[in-house]
Structure 1
Amino acid sequence: MEQPDDVFNWDNGMAPDCEVEGGVATPVSTEGLRGKLTPDAPLAKLVWFKTGGNADWMFEPEDLDDLRLFLERLEGELPVMALGLGSNMIVRDGGVPGVVIKLGKPFAKVSVDGQVVTCGGGAHGILVASAARDAGVAGLEFMRGIPGTVGGFVRMNGGAYGREVSDCLIDCQVILPDGALVTLPAADLQYTYRHSALPDGAVVVSARFEGTPGDPEAIGAEMDRIADAREASQPLRTKTGGSTFKNPPGMKAWELVDKAGCRGLTMGGAQVSEKHTNFLINTGTATSADIEGLGEEVRRRVYENSGVMLEWEIQRVGRP
């Protein structure tokens, strides 16, 4: 991606209508904002790979109104990216241009009314599944197996163990880059495998899911089964990013990677997991360039071996 000065035509490193506070040019007036706006914000500590550069800006809104006000003032002048748990993401070493929106506790609430579960965009999958279990709502157990937040699930049509978001989403509330708050029914997102038509820069602030009546004990048992299966098959206690490549139709990505001889393959400090070959791991010294480069090498070898070009499932964001 291009440098911010090229994209936004800033003069002297300052965006239109910016303020200068403590020698740092802010992209918008901060008057009335209650959230935290941080320049040159480190992102490596916020993503599972523990690699990558900084965000030009990070905004942590106090609540929905605070986020709307901030985005209205941006007026679409800067790119916006929402960040959840950072579990399915490579932040490139050059950092992320524009503004990263980090949704905190005010966006992590979950409530249940009948068979409808309403969740904030920052709610963790395990919290959603647990709230549904406690209320006797079945069909959301699969969220126990997705390490992320509702906002990421909705954008990527997250799924695991036979179900995905498109199976149960009713609608979602989204703030567009200009600050407009809209409600999008599931049909408008045009879901396909690990993809939606959600506009770039849109921030999912809440979503509603519909389940079916179920027995809390049986629901809990299924959640435990999912948790045990993840623990047994995935390198959960490493610096990883989750499933790296999408499963091609009728195939398993991990099998294609394994057959191409890539199990344990390394590049710099990055390695293809010995435990599950559709996971890349940071052995401790990897850069994001190591991880992405290893992924591209795996794709090349798989194509040479099988004629299948794997597609990335992990998001890769920022400047190289």
Structure 2
Amino acid sequence: MLRFLFAAGALAAAATSSQGAELRFGHVFAADSLENTAVRQLAEAVAERTGGEVAVTVFPAGQLGDVGATFSAMTLGTVDMTMVDISLLGYQKGHEEFFVGQVPFLFKSQDWARKVYNSELFQPFYDRLREEKGIRVVAVAGDREPRSFNTKTGPIFEPADAEGIKIRVLPNPVSIASFEAWGMRPTPINFNELYLALRQDVVEGQDNGLDVTVPMNFHEVTSYYAYSNHVYSLYGWYISDMTWQTLSPEAQTIVEEEVAKAGELISRLGAARAARDERTMLEAGLKVTVPNRPAFEALAADVYKTFEGDLWREGLVEEIRAMQEETDPALE
């Protein structure tokens, strides 16, 4: 069996070793998170099913760097695998088309987000990422809780209720333009500094789903949670293509199968986690509401047009919406 050594972005050497291929899986989620539980399950199953040919060592909580640093290391071959929201691939230079996933109310439901991201429509984007960055998308699996408004001021029912709120959003042009259309004041804050920024009133809100809001304790320093559900997304599971090419076909199949199972675990247990997180918010005294989603959708309806032919090709948003005129995947 082979143990693969990577250095300076190249396959430096390969020598016979009884340990097999050793893969480094880095991610930013906490060690006690559902995401890390799923990754650890993957690692254990891969080692068992390959008979030790492939060993996956898991580094949670950003031990190998933040999302950007991890992707850069994967391009070099010094980190082998990671998982993070699929739309965050938009931060890869030249691959800003993935920011289309941040267009508000693009997907009618989580089921539609899952179907579209796993359709032939997105496959060319994944192929180009592999060819240009050396990052292979193994799967898009594992439902995320939809993004919503978590604020210190409120409650938010109508767009007028959100007017002027200083809110931290993802630092990309699509998210910023969307919140500006809603009359809010999007403010750039490093995610690692967000809890303190909320506590000290540097910002008055943030827009993560329950899967981030409660584990990161943002509910401790906010008062309202409005289920706007303006962005549905899933996790992307990635491997350095340099690493992928060193695995046997049998090992590649096992990795693909176990990644899919890890994603399924997150989706299956995610609903129970969301219910538990909502109880945690209510017990902490947060007021939970459902805002007038059509009103917010109408205000941001033309935001995507600013980025057509720039961040992504002309017509992509309409193609995604056209797909959703078919039978609801939840009913298939």
Q: TM-score range by the shorter chain?
A: under 0.3
Q: TM-score, normalised on structure 2?
A: 0.23
Q: TM-score, normalised by structure 1?
A: 0.24
More helix by share: 2
Higher strand share: 1
Q: Which has the higher contact order (CA 8 A, sep 6+)?
A: 2
